[in-house]
A and B are shown apart, each in its own frame.
Chain A
Amino acid sequence: MEFGAALAANLTSPPVLAFALGFLATALGAELKLHEALYDALSVYLLLAIGLKGGVAISVAEAGALLWPALAALALGTAIPLWCYAVLRRLLRLGAADSGALAAHYGSVSAVTFVAALQFLAARGVPAEGFLPALVALLEVPAIVVAIALARAGGAAGGGGGLREALHEVVFGRSVVLLVGGLAIGVLTGERGYAAVKPLFSDLFLGALVLFLLELGVVAARRRGDLRRAGAPLVAFAVIAPIVHAALASLLGPLVGLSPGGTMVFATLAASASYIAAPAAVRLALPEASPSLYLASSLVVTFPFNLALGLPLYDAFARLAHRLLG
């Protein structure tokens, strides 16, 4: 069975095992934390590398191919927070601030999960469109804005700075700036320019990702105590929402002209929850929302779930959708 084989291969891939090592070692009391400066440098490196590679791919592709997937990404980025907010408020009976905060996280994306999806495909030799990093930047912004606006409309108090400050935090946050900047550099420099920096940005990429995931495992383990405060319904949400979002995106993928590989990555993007850009924006704009709720669900539940089980599952979704609609 193809799914079983993909799952087994994924669970024994270096990034997934590094995350598990970081998590287990920290849970057992080992001190693995990377130095803050190294963590910072790694995240800059990973984001810029994705952007560069995407930009080079765009420079050799036809521009029209990007239009429909980009519109689909914008539509999903707006729709996901709407229904997440409704479910969290009505079904889980959370307050406006907490519902908005969680909706922002689930509508927004995790760049590391995106990278893991690309690696998952690369390991199997499945091609994916080069412009996909542009979708990461597109999905990041609208969801956070929509979710914060919803929470405000629902009665959540704003911080001193408010929505504009949160928007600035997202648009000029590290992930969007480096992704978009990397894309621009890649487009401008093309394949010839990229050849010069390829040894650093391409050949060493997987190794850097392994180090970063080790650190994420450590951080997730340190946050695991917050799970108790989140409670079973939120943990269930943190697993079910990604699956639903991935299924939706898988159906959209073939309709907007994405390849099976591109559809798998798009589904993973829809399934992933932000834990870098969204927390900072939400903390500023919805200070009443509890960070332990949104960090526990996005980082301790959804991220590991997507990394270990989600990737092969969304791959199966994408292939099924292409068989049905392609």
Chain B
Amino acid sequence: MAIHTVPVQRVTIVAESLLEERLLKDLEAAGARGYTLTAARGAGARGVRSSEWEGGNVRIETLVSDAVAQRLLERLAEAYFPHYAVVAWVETVEVVRGDRYV
């Protein structure tokens, strides 16, 4: 018996950890109902960000509807992309109990 799954959007944001609190507020404001946050290290257009000294990075993942994903990306583009080290991407994923996320 196959378990029933529903497609939702997974938005992943990797950002300098200084922005953690701000981003979580934005997530809530956009309508996300939960998130997973992990410490991250890596390199990108704004250079290697690997030590706690520079603040390190956080990786925030959230499962949301198309509309919420759009609102989140718009917010990131407006408030963070110009000056902060922030990367974000969206994927469609299959989840069980889809009503929990959208």
B54 in contact with A291 (CB, 8 Å) = yes
Q: Does A309 contact B (CB under 8 A)?
A: no
B89 within 8 Å of A (CB atoms): no
Taking a contact as CB atoms under 8 Å apart, the answer to whether A36 and B83 are in contact is no
Segment 34-58 of B: residues with Cβ below 8 Å from A? 51-55
Query: Knowing A287-B83, A287-B84 touch, does A160 contact B22 (C-beta < 8 A)?
Result: yes
A310 to B53, CA, bound (A): 24
Residues of chain B lying within 8 A (CB to CB) of residue A219? 51, 53
A84 adjacent to chain B (CB < 8 Å): no
| Chain A neighbourhood of B80, CB < 8 A | 160
| B79 sits at the interface (CB 8 A) | yes
The yes or no answer to B96 lying at the interface (CB within 8 A) is no
- The number of A-B residue pairs with CB atoms under 8 Å apart is 28
B28 to chain A minimum Cβ distance, whole angstroms, is 14
Size category of the B interface is: 10 to 19
Say if the beta carbon of B18 comes within 8 Å of chain A.
yes
Q: Which residues of A contact B83 (CB under 8 A)?
A: 157, 159, 287-288
Contacts of B51 in A (CB 8 A): 33, 36, 219, 222
Flag whether A161 is at the interface (Cβ < 8 A): yes
Q: Assess whether B55 is in contact with A160, with CB atoms less than 8 Å apart.
A: no
Query: Are A283 and B18 interface neighbours, CB within 8 A?
Result: yes
In this assembly, does A247 line the interface, its C-beta being within 8 Å of a C-beta of chain B? no
Q: Which residues of B contact A39 (CB under 8 A)?
A: 52
Residue of A nearest to B53 (CB): A219
Contacting pair B84 A280 (CB below 8 A) = no
Name the B residues within 8 Å of A296 (CB-CB).
Answer: none
**Contact code string B13-30 (vs A, CB < 8 Å = 1, else 0):** 000101000100000000
Instruction: Please list the residues of chain A having a beta carbon within 8 angstroms of any beta carbon in chain B.
Output: 33, 36, 39-40, 157, 159-161, 165, 219, 222, 280, 283-284, 287-288, 291
A-B contact pairs, 5 of them (CB 8 A): A36-B51, A157-B83, A219-B53, A287-B84, A288-B83
Report the 10 A-B pairs with minimum CB-CB distance, sorted nearest first.
Answer: A287-B83, A160-B79, A36-B52, A219-B53, A283-B18, A288-B83, A287-B84, A160-B22, A161-B22, A280-B18
